[in-house]
Each structure stands twice: as C-alpha cells, then as structure tokens.
A and B are shown apart, each in its own frame.
Chain A
Amino acid sequence: MKSKADVVIIGGGVNGCSLAYRLAKKGLDVVVVEKRYLTSGATGACGAGIRQQWSTRENAQLAIQSVKIFERLSSELGQDIEFRQGGYLIAVHDEKEMKQAEKNVAMQRSLGLKVDILKPEEITSVVPILDVKGMRAIGATFCPTDGHANPFKTTFAYADAARKLGAEINTHTTVIDVKTAKKTIRAVVTDQGTIQTDMVVNAAGIDSKTIAEMVKVKLPLTPFRKEIMATERLQPLFEAMVISFKDGIYFSQQKEGQIVGGIPIPEEKGGYKTMPTFAFLQHMAQTLTRYAPVLKHVNVLRHWTGFYDVSPDARPILGEVKEVKGFIQCSGFSGHGFMISPMVSFLLTELIAEQKTSEVLESLSLDRFKGKNIEKELSVVG
C-alpha cells in the first residue's frame, strides 16, 4: 500500500469508486480504502433504480444531470454497466398525493424533464401485469427516461478505470484512525499501514458517522435497515420500475429477468441489525401480489438487508466541513446514493481538483442543519 497520497477515499461503493476515477483522471494520486470488498455496503444491496422524479429541485437537478452522465457511461468506462431506460411509474393513491404529484411534475417539467400524469386506465399500457384496482391507484406519474443500471458492474467499471489511471484500491483494509494537526487532515491509519495525506473523502456509507467521529465531527445520520428480495428469472414482462410512496413498495424486472423489490419492514426502527425478517417477506409478498396478482406463481429465491444512511432531510451531505480542513463528506444518501453518484463525483471532483464550489454543493453542506429552514425530500420509497 502507498504511504502517501493526494486524496484518500474511505469506502469502496459506487460513490467512492466513481470519485476515485474522476480524481485520477484529473491527475491526482488517489488511494481508496475499503473495509470489506467493493460494493459490500449499500451499493451492492440496492435496488439498481435511477429516478429523476423528486420533490426537491436540487435532487431533481442532480438526478437529471446524473442520467445524462449514465447515458454515456458504458462507452466512457469501456465496460457495459447495463444502463437502460424503462421509466419509473409512481402510483398515486388519493387526492392529497395527486396534489403533491402535480406540484412535483410542474417543477420537474420546468427543469426540462418529460413526465406524464397517467389516468388509471393508462397504467396497464405501461406495466401490463398491474392490477389498478388491487393497487388502489387513482393515477400515476411516469417518466420514460428514468431507468436502471447494474450497481456491481458500474462500481467495478469505475474501479477498473480508476486503477488504469493510477489509483490504488485496497479492499479488506480497515481505517483505524484519521490523524489531524491544527484542524487539518494529516494521515489515515489503517490495519495495513498509514497513508500521509491532507485530504480525506468520507464515503463510508453507514460507517461515515464513525469515521467522522475520529476527527470529532458529528454527522446527523441514522442507519436504517432495509430489506429487498429477488425472484427467479422470468421472460421480459415489463420495463418500468413501479413505486408507491404510500405503500413504500418498489419493484422492477432486471435485465436478467428476475424481479427485484422492497418495502419498509413493519415497525422498523433505526439501528445496525442486519438479519432479514420474515415480517418483510410476508408484507412484501402480500403487497406485491396485490399490485400484480399474476406474480403469485413466481418463486422468491432470496432476500437480503442493506442500509439507508438517513440524514434529517433525506438528502446527502457533501463537501468540506468547516471544522476540519481537507475532510470531505460524501454520505447521507438516504437510499439514493447509486442514482445520483455520477453528479456527486462530478461536483466533488470540481471541489477537490479545481477548488470550485457550486450552489448545489453549498446547499448540501453539513452546515445546512445549523439553519432552521431545511426542505425535506418527500419522494422517498423503500
């Protein structure tokens, strides 16, 4: 392992690896340290969806710009990340939800996004297996350019490209301490050796809070266990991701044919437990077969847990903290880290390599929680 680097990134998920790639491309000497293996955290457990339909303008902007990067990412990285745009269908269940949906759609359209409000009878023309009565929908919103990519292949492709540009990626390497002097980053101590550096990116997912505590920075993050399941492979049935904010369900058919989806565990509280629960599986099966009764004949192969690292407004914490020079946050994604990773790494690369900041980066700084008026993201699922 190198003993010196321009930047040390803690965390080998999609955000850590994409940032490593972009910084290495700018000529910086980058070292990534990952406690387990690449994609071992939230990236590897996620639902693979890429959505632009958000309630806050910042999230919608980040997602729209991210999709533009996703569209050309396979050719940029020289590996197929299996990006495809089958759209996201968001079920609307009552008048109150419809009012919020109309507000969201107006804002999203003002950013140039193509989004439609569907009547109940139009829902099955997008996803034929749905039972509109069973899902109790009075309508839906649909954005055809939302979609999916393969989180493993995306992360591995970033890591391969980063390595080719000279970045060093160390898996099975645990950070023990982050050293500072005069409120400035000095070194990262791991179980495999110490790396001298004046810049650390904290992209450690639910462990970000622990990393920040090493330099006495408090992050307002809470880990939430989430469960997700996969079925056996089926012939192609539908292309869109189906989600409902009211029921919390999301599901889609992946490229290989399996249906992957999740729903909140009944009465779940924050914490670090990882055991999958039968309560989830039953609740998911009941809701999924209510939405798409034909799926009752389909076998579930496995279910697993992952974590959302949830911030108070369900938006990420990005950029340098005031308290420690060179300590950059890349956490608090609240379940949306994969889909906005292209823009996150773009913005942080501007900040780190060119000392350039932006309005959106400022609005996502840790400092925002010191003010009173934070706008909470409402369009959260799972």
Chain B
Amino acid sequence: MKRSIVCRCEDISEEDVIQAIEEGYTDIEELRKKLRIGMGPCQGRVCIQLVARILERKTGKKVAMIKLPKVRPPLVPVSLGTLASENDEK
C-alpha cells in the first residue's frame, strides 16, 4: 500500500490522519493525542503544518483559523545531564 508520511518521528501517514478526522477527531490537539503527531524529536516542526492542510481540505476550516498546538519547551532536545548541570547543586 502506498503511504504518504506526514509525521516522520511517529511514522504517521496522510491516510492515518484522514481516517482519524473521519472518525471525528477534528481538533488538532485531539489528533495529536490520538496519533502522537508532533510528539517526537521534531516537536511538530515537520508535521503540524501538513496536518493543518489536511484538516482544511477535510473540514473546510481555513488553515489560518485552525488553532495550532502550544509550543512546549525546551524547543530542541536537551539531555538530562545538561539540564542537571546548569548550576552547581545546592
């Protein structure tokens, strides 16, 4: 079967997204929680805009009107060792 990958981190295809929308998950936060899109190392940089496009196509709601998920820190992956060593432990 041909699959167009939307989310590379979590291996989610366009077909997966369309199916979830058809099941009633029409909020980008719900799609994220249902499919784990945007939860991998890229934190949604690759997939979220693509998902917003698919949502627009399926629901008619303009991309500009679709509320995107909150951006969550740290913006890039940071190791626990680095975070722990920022200052000397009190």
A interface vs B, CB < 8 Å? 36-40, 44, 152-153, 156, 160, 171-172, 230-233, 256, 276, 278, 281-282, 284-286, 288-289, 295-304
Contact = CB atoms under 8 A, between A and B. Distances in A.
Contacts of B70: 304
B16 interface: no
A33 B27 CA distance: 15
A282 B80 contact: no
B56 interface: no
Contacts of A152: 33-34
A293 to B, nearest CB: 9
A162 B5 CA distance: 32
15 contacts: A39-B30, A152-B34, A172-B27, A230-B39, A282-B84, A285-B81, A286-B89, A288-B80, A289-B80, A289-B84, A296-B79, A296-B84, A299-B80, A301-B77, A302-B74
A299 B79 contact: yes
A301 B78 CA distance: 7
Contacts of B78: 299-300
Given A289-B80, A297-B79, A281 B73 contact: yes
Interface residues of B, number: 27
B27 A171 contact: yes
Nearest to B29: A37
A379 to B, nearest CB: 26
A40 B33 CA distance: 10
Given A285-B81, A301-B77, 16 more contacts: A152-B34, A156-B33, A231-B80, A232-B41, A232-B77, A281-B74, A286-B84, A288-B80, A296-B79, A297-B81, A298-B79, A300-B74, A300-B80, A302-B43, A302-B74, A303-B74
B72 A281 contact: no
A153 B33 CA distance: 8
A11 to B, nearest CB: 16
Contact of A285 (B34, B39, B43, B83): B83
A16 to B, nearest CB: 15
Nearest to A289: B84
Question: 5 tightest CB-CB pairs across the interface, nearest first?
Answer: A296-B81, A285-B83, A299-B77, A285-B84, A302-B72
A303 B73 CA distance: 6
Nearest to A293: B81
A156 B80 contact: no
A37 B27 contact: yes
A7 B39 CA distance: 36
A1 B43 CA distance: 35
B65 to A, nearest CB: 12
A285 to B, nearest CB: 4
B73 A282 contact: no
A298 B43 contact: no
B70 to A, nearest CB: 8
Interface string B17-43: 000000101010110011010011101
B45 to A, nearest CB: 12
